[in-house]
C-alpha cells in the first residue's frame, strides 16, 4: 500500500488513532530523553567536542518538549512504560558500551542507528501528521541530520581505528532496530506510516552514513542489511 499523502484522510480524533499515538508518541518522547542522556555521556568521553555535544544534548531536550506538546494537543497520554521497554535493549547496550569506554559503539548506537531511525520516522511522519505536529517535526528533523553528521564526521576521522568495533557493534545492534520496527508496524500504519517506507528511508540514511564514514559499497550492503529478514 502506498504511503498516504493527504492528512485529510486521517481522523486524528478517532479512538484507534489516539490509541496508536499513545505508543508512538511515547516512543519518540522516550527516545529524545535517552538521546539527551546519551549525548551528555558522550560529552564526558570526548572533551574536544564537549561543547558541541552538550549543545546536541540540549536540542534533544527541546525535541522531547515539542513532542510532549504534540501529545497534549491531541489529548493523548503517552504510554511511557511501553516506550521504556521499547528502547531497553539499545539503552542497555549503550550503557554497557559506555561503562567499558567503547566510544565507537556508543556513537554507532546513538549517532548512526538511532538518528537514522529518527530521520526515517520523522520524514515518513511529516506528510501524514496533524498541522501542529508537522511544524514541530519539520524543525526537529533538521536537527537530527546535524546529529547524524556529528557521528559521521567523528567516525570518518577515526575510521581505521574504529572499523572492527563498528562491525561488531553493527552486528549487535542493527537487528534490534528491525525488531523494534516490527513491534510498532501496526501502530505506525494507523498513523499513515508504512513499514516499507520506514525501512527504505532508514536503509538510505544508514547506508549513506556508512559510506561517508569510509566503508566500501560492498561493506555498506552487507552491514546495512544485517539482521533484516527478507
Ligand atoms: O536522536 C534522536 O532524537 C532520536 C531519539 C529519537 C528517536 C526517535 C525514535 C523514533 C522511532 C519512531 C518509530 C515510529 C515508527
Ligand atoms: Fe536511563
Ligand atoms: Fe532528537
Ligand atoms: Fe538526535
Question: Helix (H) and strand (E) counts for the chain?
Answer: 9, 0
Hey, whose CA ends up nearest to atom 7 of ligand 1?
31
Question: CA-to-CA distance for 63 and 144, rounded, in angstroms?
Answer: 10
End-to-end CA distance of the chain: 18
Ligand 1 touching residue 187 (CB < 6 A) = no
User: What grid cell was written down for 84?
Assistant: 521504556
**Relative to the CA of 114, which ligand 1 atom is closest?**
4
Query: What is each CA distance from 42 to 37, 65, 104, 118, 121, in whole angstroms?
Result: 9, 22, 10, 19, 24
Output DSSP code: residue 12.
T
Q: Is the pLDDT of residue 4 over 60?
A: no
Collapsing DSSP to helix, strand or coil, 230 comes out as: coil
> Which DSSP category does 75 fall into?
T
Ligand 1 mutation pick, 25, 27, 179, max ligand atoms within 8 A of CB: 27
| pLDDT tens readout for residues 45-72 | 999 999 999 999 999 999 999 999 999 9
Residue 70 Cβ contacting ligand 1 at under 6 Å: no
Smallest CA-to-CA distance from 230 within 178, 176, 169 is with: 178
What does the DSSP assignment read for 88-140? HHHHHHHHHHHHTT-HHHHHIIIIIIIHHHHHHHHHHHGGGS-HHHHHHHHHH
Cell of 226: 544485517
Reported pTM: 0.95
Q: Which three cell numbers stand for residue 169?
A: 557493534
State if residue 150 touches ligand 1 by the CB under 6 angstroms criterion.
no
Distance 35 CA to ligand 3 centre (A): 7
Q: d(Cα 15, Cα 105) in Å, to the nearest integer?
A: 40
Determine the Cα–Cα distance for residues 203 and 201; give it in Å rounded to an integer: 5
Quote ipTM for the complex: 0.94
CA–CA distance, 91 with 114 (Å, rounded to integer): 11
pLDDT of residue 228: 81
pLDDT per residue as tens digits for the range 181-205: 999 999 999 999 999 999 999 999 9
pLDDT at 229 over 90: no
Ligand 1, residue 143: give the atom nearest the CA.
3
pLDDT in tens, 104-155: 999 999 999 999 999 999 999 999 999 999 999 999 999 999 999 999 999 9
Query: In angstroms, what CA-CA distances link 163 with 17, 66, 159?
Result: 43, 36, 6
Separation of 131 CA from ligand 1 center, angstroms?
A: 19
Between the alpha carbon of residue 36 and those of residues 39, 40, 55, 122, the distances in Å are 5, 6, 10, 18
Amino acid at each position: 500500500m502506498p504511503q498516504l499523502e493527504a492528512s485529510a484522510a486521517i481522523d486524528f480524533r478517532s479512538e484507534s488513532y489516539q490509541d496508536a499515538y499513545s505508543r508512538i508518541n511515547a516512543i519518540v518522547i522516550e527516545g529524545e530523553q535517552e538521546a539527551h542522556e546519551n549525548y551528555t555521556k558522550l560529552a564526558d568521553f570526548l572533551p574536544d567536542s564537549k561543547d558541541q555535544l552538550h549543545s546536541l544534548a540540549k536540542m534533544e531536550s527541546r525535541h522531547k518538549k515539542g513532542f510532549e506538546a504534540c501529545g497534549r494537543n491531541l489529548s493523548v497520554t503517552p504510554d511511557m512504560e511501553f516506550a521504556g521497554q521499547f528502547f531497553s535493549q539499545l539503552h542497555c547496550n549503550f550503557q554497557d558500551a559506555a561503562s567499558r569506554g567503547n566510544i565507537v559503539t556508543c556513537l554507532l548506537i546513538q549517532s548512526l542507528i538511532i538518528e537514522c531511525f529518527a530521520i526515517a520516522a520523522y520524514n515518513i511522519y511529516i506528510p501524514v501528521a496533524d498541522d501542529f505536529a508537522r511544524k514541530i517535526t519539520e524543525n526537529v528533523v533538521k536537527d537530527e541530520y546535524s546529529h547524524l553528521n556529528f557521528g559521521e564526521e567523528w567516525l570518518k576521522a577515526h575510521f581505521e581505528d574504529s572499523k572492527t568495533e563498528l562491525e561488531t557493534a553493527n552486528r549487535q545492534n542493527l537487528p534490534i532496530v528491525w525488531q523494534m520496527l516490527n513491534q510498532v508496524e501496526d501502530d505506525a500504519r494507523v498513523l499513515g506510516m508504512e513499514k516499507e517506507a520506514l525501512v527504505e528511508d532508514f536503509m538510505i540514511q544508514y547506508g549513506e552514513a556508512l559510506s561517508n564514514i569510509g566503508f566500501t559499497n560492498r561493506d555498506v550492503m552487507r552491514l546495512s542489511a544485517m539482521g533484516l529478514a527478507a
